[in-house]
Amino acid sequence: MSAGTRGAQEEHPLTDKEFNLIRELVYRQAGIFLTPVKKALVTARLAPRLRALALDSFGAYYKHVVSKGNEAELVRMLDCICTNETHFFREPTHFDFLVQRAIPEWREQAAARLRPRRVRVWSAACSTGEEPYSLAMVLLSQFPPGSGWDVEVVATDLSTRALARAEEGLWSIDKAEEIPPEYRRSFMLKGVRSREGWMRAGPAIRSVVRFARLNLHAESYPGMGTFDAIFCRNVLIYFDAESKTGVLHRLLGHLEPRGYFFLGLSESLAGVSVAARCIHPAVYVSAPRGNPQG
């Protein structure tokens, strides 16, 4: 346990009753299942909100959050709870799959007039933006401006704090090592003078990425349309079986019939009844409704 966590617990001890109220609220609102071992994490992450609001207990904070007309604090609470850990080109086998299999198929289908010369990809839990910008780099390297192809990457997340960082598109230069050199040279800008030591997403990739707040636990995702590929990686581990099934049904409902659905490499659809089958490590396609496979 860190000193910060110990300090938060001593300043505002979180009782089991308060923890259960908060975990039930988080589950209702976001589908995130907090196990008992997350009690210390909840304490550490929400204690600053208690101090900011001059509240003397987590019970008082819970009442503040659920009080009528306090949607803004509910959003802040969920921001605090969410874990936003990601990297550029995380699990690179999936980006290789796009280049070696998906994109050639899309080109062939367009040549046969079976699809428009348009690609839409959804980063369904984009965190601070590394995944959607990585996708934009891959897609624009294959479908550059002037090629006749329209490229769009839609990036959504529950956390407004993470989305703000993603839209800013600014990272420590240390993150540059995560990006293959050919992509880094073509699409990223190295900071100078006051921005020395920083790296910014360049205008080409910024122009094709659209950010929006979206709660995957919502009953529907209006206005999203359909996608040629959906990335929902390392997210479902935070849901229980019921929430996971609902999220997967809704996401797959936005996948084009020939589209690809990507999970994290440590995840699978085993034990979940959805109409999808695995064709590559953590890559799925839609399956006939009567023949779902994990």
Q: How far apart are CA 162 and CA 157, in angstroms?
A: 8
Angle CA 280–221–210, to nearest 5: 75
Which one of 23, 45, 76, 233 is the catalytic residue?
45
* Residue in the block written with tokens 């230069």: 173
Is 45 part of the annotated catalytic residue set?
yes
- Measured in whole angstroms, the distance separating CA 34 from the mean position of its chain's CA atoms is 18
Catalytic residue among 90, 120, 157, 184: 157
Please count the other Cβ atoms lying within 10 Å of the Cβ belonging to residue 264. Answer: 17
Q: Is 157 a catalytic residue?
A: yes
Q: Which of 169, 126, 119 is nearest to 147 (CA)?
A: 119
CA angle, corner 38, sides to 241 and 83, nearest 5? 80
Are 220 and 250 within 8 A, CB to CB?
yes
DSSP code per residue over 3-67 = HHHHHHHHHS---HHHHHHHHHHHHHHH-B---GGGHHHHHHHHHHHHHHHT-SSHHHHHHHHHS
Residues that are catalytic:
45, 157
